[in-house]
Structure 1
Amino acid sequence: MSKLDIVRIAALSDNYIWLVHDPESGETMVVDPAEADPVLAEAERRGWTISAIWNTHWHPDHTGGNAAIKQATGAPVIAPAAEAAKIPTADRLVMEGDTVMLGKHIATVLETPAHTAGHVTYHFADDAVAFTGDTLFAMGCGRLFEGTAAQMYANMQRLAALPPETSVYCAHEYTLSNARYARVAEPDNEAIAARLREVEKMRERGEATVPTTIALERATNPFMRAQSIEQFAERRASKDVFRG
């Protein structure tokens, strides 16, 4: 089975859309299309035909391109069942334990609510790849718009249990702000200090800081490293008002 080709497409102010291609089958899907035009242009440039759209949650900066891409390509939209009412373009609704295919590559649906009530993560176990939307970020996690600290803490523990080599493809370039907060949350963590320095240099050069890995997040993500729901909740509340 061939390796997946995963292409990062920057969109809006800080979104990342992921274009995922299976060379063996020729199938291509797009994860969380904030907008359509850059996705369609990149697929055309590469000679790829988009065969599916996968959404992690309903927010417009993750679904805004659904309708236009669907109209242009006929690609069906796969979306979380719990958010069906908020994703009218959805064709297939998925929930915990369901599988979604790209060629022979199998992704398992993990329900990871808290940022939104029905948020899901798509995990390709055999490829060591996870698309985490706005649940797990590089050195951060999503705000608790529709869920609880207990839910997001459970998400962090669940994702931390994935194999350390798993590549994490999140949907925003938030790493610099997250790293600055992480330095405050864990001032004695040398791994965080080193990563902050690296991230600062990368952003100065205009480079993207994602994907990340589960191993790196275990070492430097203060939300994944929280030792209790209470500590997680305190860190999330502190980050919500952090200006660094």
Structure 2
Amino acid sequence: MDVKSAFLNGKLEEEVYVAQPPGFEDPKHPDKFFGLNKALYGLKQAPRAWYDTLQEFLMKKGLKPGSLDPTIFTKSYDAHTPTLGLWYPKGSTFDLIGYSDSDYAGDHVDRKSTSGTCHFLGRSLVCWSSKKQNCVSLSTAEAEYIAAGSCCAQLLWMKQTLKNYGVNMKNLPLYCDNESAIKIAHNPVQHSKTKHIQIRHHFLRDHVWKGDISIEHVRTEE
């Protein structure tokens, strides 16, 4: 399939009109407009028309869009190829685990901290990130708490993605080396030392209480 042509020639569901471009004017009808039958590059409707065309093509080939992310298409064909597959030893694990860490005021200009996260599926590292936080933390516990929240968000996204493949996981472990940050995640009470933390960072606490995430302590050297 020619993806570029699909983007330029996607079918439009609505009526779209454009002015006569320079060099293509009709001298007999200078005030008339062109009606588009297909999408043009730069048209606001072009991405949607392109996606509809691509989706139609892929679904004809037996692929199905994901329930969480409709841009991810999957196809199950193992029934037709019984001699091919993935083999997992009985003693191996298929756990999804997250680790979070943070420095404190590592940027000497704006004094913001940097979050570090990594995620393992089984024994393989499949996702990692290092990103400067968007606010200045007043303590190492706050910086670690924010980093753990970012790790939690990625874990939940990966959990939902795996669900599309028939893998269901509950109470995902998230390891953090700061006991104060762990206590903040477990404590539903807002006390004076945490009232200033932005609400969006308490995303972690909510999922800990729901049982989606189990935040646990790990030694720094581990």
- TM-score, normalised with respect to structure 2: 0.24
- TM-score, normalised with respect to structure 1: 0.22
Could you say which structure has the higher helix fraction? Answer: 1
Could you say which structure has the higher strand fraction? Answer: 1
